[in-house]
Amino acid sequence: MSYHFRKTALGAVLAAVLGFASAAQAADLSGAGATFPYPVYSQWAKAYKEKTGTGLNYQAIGSGGGIKQIEARTVTFGASDKPLGGDELTKNTLVQFPTVMGGIVPVVNIKGIKPGELVIDGTTLAEIYMGKITKWNDAAIKKLNPKVKLPDAAIAVVHRSDGSGTTFNFTYYLAAVDADWKSNIGVNTSVQWPVGVGAKGNQGVAANVGQTQNSIGYVEYAYALQNKMTYTDMVNKAGKRVAPKAAAFAAAAKNADWKSQPGFGVILADQPGDKSWPMTAATFILMHSDAKDGKASAQVLKFFNWAYAHGDKMAAKLDYIPMPSSVVKDVKKEWSEIKGEDGKSVWKASM
């Protein structure tokens, strides 16, 4: 290989690398936050990039991190499973809107018990997680499952060890159905668990429940399916037994009054309706209403506009529930509040 050839080859490689880097940087949307919607966001981003050439750089660092980063304006949008309240939104000049919904399901690992065989209600779940119910053959569980053979074994409780939107929605539901939980433990992205072992991330909880006999945990529905876990049915607010299926999550969303909270910050736990899954949750996007880079914000809105229009099938494939069209309509109305440096709305319905 001659010296000249080597030099040229090196130059070509360098040029290719540099060119690629700058092209990627110029067009990419940047966001950070919740891990729960990450699989669907990355699917959308892939399809969107093929179509428009615009990529998405999404850091799945968790809801808390997403909130921090958008407040610090290091990203164009933040993502959180925990909706911010009206005060927090105004204080930080943020606009909030939901993108997709999903369900949180209890998962168990008991020898001989198949997915959907066991049924559990909110109070029982709260008492298990408070350490009041410690054995699988406890009277409360037996009463709900008269036909299931339950072992005389201690319940190994598994919860999230990291702060997470999943935990926020899970504890929100337990607080809604159990007064003791509400006053003693409360609701947050992480709480002081009285019992059990902590595991990092949905994947960590799934792995721990999978490894530990006679255990119980809670994960996003998608993780339960992917890991072929033994999920349980639940008794909902209407007192009906429901199975964790897309239709049950959609039913919970349908009954929600999205306009009742600023920034669509409705928490879908414990919704009324015979078919509603009690632990349904939406995930949210946060953007500044006084954007420093109006062009970037417009690009992000364009992406979510495309996702609302074309992303439903991809979301459903990954077991997420798309937002109802009526909500999407209201979301787009709210987008006009996002203004660029010139004080004009960056979003125009014709885009």
Q: Hey, which residues does 287 pair with through a beta bridge?
A: 95
Nearest distance in Å: CB 137, other proteins: 14
Contact indicator for 104, 206 with CB cutoff of 8 Å: no
Of 116 and 163, which CB lies nearer to other proteins in the complex structure?
163
Nearest distance in Å: CB 92, other proteins: 13
The rounded distance, in Å, linking the Cα atoms of 285 and 63 is 10
Of 132 and 245, which CB lies nearer to other proteins in the complex structure?
132
Of 156 and 234, which CB lies nearer to other proteins in the complex structure?
156
Nearest distance in Å: CB 171, other proteins: 9
Burial 122-150 (b: 16+ CB within 10 A, else e): bbbbbbbbbebbeebebeebeebbeebeb
| CA angle centred on 272, ends 144 and 325, rounded to 5° | 130
The rounded distance, in Å, linking the Cα atoms of 227 and 49 is 29
DSSP 114-153: PTTT-EEEHHHHHHHHHTS--BTT-HHHHHH-TTS---S-
Binding site for other proteins (CB under 8 A): 61-65, 67-68, 153-154, 156, 161-164, 185-193, 196-200, 207-208, 211-213
Nearest distance in Å: CB 40, other proteins: 20
Contact indicator for 157, 269 with CB cutoff of 8 Å: no
Of 37 and 196, which CB lies nearer to other proteins in the complex structure?
196
Q: What is the dihedral of CA 261, 262, 263, 269, to 10 degrees?
A: -20
Nearest distance in Å: CB 338, other proteins: 24
Pairing of strands 119-121, 321-322: unpaired
Residue 8 backbone phi and psi in degrees, to 5: -65, -45
Nearest distance in Å: CB 306, other proteins: 29
Query: Who contacts 235 (Cβ-Cβ below 8 Å, separation ≥6)?
Result: 119, 120, 121, 122, 144, 241, 242, 278
Nearest distance in Å: CB 155, other proteins: 9
Nearest distance in Å: CB 300, other proteins: 22
Of 82 and 275, which CB lies nearer to other proteins in the complex structure?
82
The rounded distance, in Å, linking the Cα atoms of 210 and 55 is 36
If we measure between CA atoms, which residue out of 73, 85, 74, 62 comes closest to residue 289?
73
